[in-house]
Amino acid sequence: MLSRPQLIQQIKQKKSFLCVGLDTDINKIPAFLKDYPDPVFEFNKRIIDATRDLCIAYKPNAAFYESRGVKGLQSLVATSEYLPKDCLSIIDAKRGDIGNTSAMYAAAFFDEQAAGMNFDAITVAPYMGIDSVTPFLAFEGKWVILLALTSSVGSKDFQYLNTDNGLLYEAVIQKANIWAGAGRMMFVVGATKSTEFTNIRKYAPDNFLLVPGIGAQGGSLEDVCKYGMTKDCGLIVNSSRAIIYASGGEDFAEAARAEALKVQQAMEIELGNAGVI
């Protein structure tokens, strides 16, 4: 596990709060990798080797692996084993079901003896409430990253509905912080919702926020930091396609590093401006 103090230490040491998303599509990786026994793992391995000193987290998206059946799960297990121990390992699975089912989902990604994977954190959908979240928190030291406010077009369908405790996404954050504090609970907040960060910080002043949408989705790192950064940084900003698919050739790992370095350098400036480093 990677604890909150260790995560903050990594941010200060690497001068980065970058998460590299391993949304690895076998149809998009360089053709020469198809000659390897496990092309997806070989791709991930080279991306990790090229970026591990520039980022503080990695986030495989479970769908890209599960869609390939047994072979995909083998790639995911191999990737999880290879992830650096000094980086937060996040499985982007967006699970959320009643207790017994959530307990099985939690075992799948947290119990190494059961399924071969030992991620530090998992994304969870909150729609079914406490029943769908506590089985993940039952694994000591593991993080739950709860969906709060997404960048999707459909976010307006439910996330902005009025409730007795404010907008629905506000109610989700307030309730979730009763279940676990800032040492175990994070929230997903889309980068394209950057002006909402000020409001979110009213309800989650100390929680880390996982922020997708930087890069290919057009989110602004500067705005995210302006409205969302805390004294401990409090942000994990994800970039997937813009980094891992920076090149489709044999130089893909070098190109990924170059893109990650650009983001890390921009993050170093933001961390300095905020007095975090």
Compute the distance between CA of residue 97 and CA of residue 122 in angstroms, rounded to an integer: 14
Alpha helices in 52-116 (DSSP H): 62-66, 69-82, 99-110, 112-115
Radius of gyration of the chain, Cα coordinates, nearest whole angstrom: 18
CA torsion sign for 71, 120, 133, 23 is: negative
Partnered with residue 22 across adjacent β-strands are 60
Catalytic (active site) residue 193: no
Q: Whose structure tokens read 């405790």?
A: 165
Strands 235-239 and 209-211, by their bridges, are parallel
Give residue 41's Cα distance to chain centre: 19
The active-site residue, picked from 34, 45, 71, 94, is 94
- Residues labelled catalytic: 94
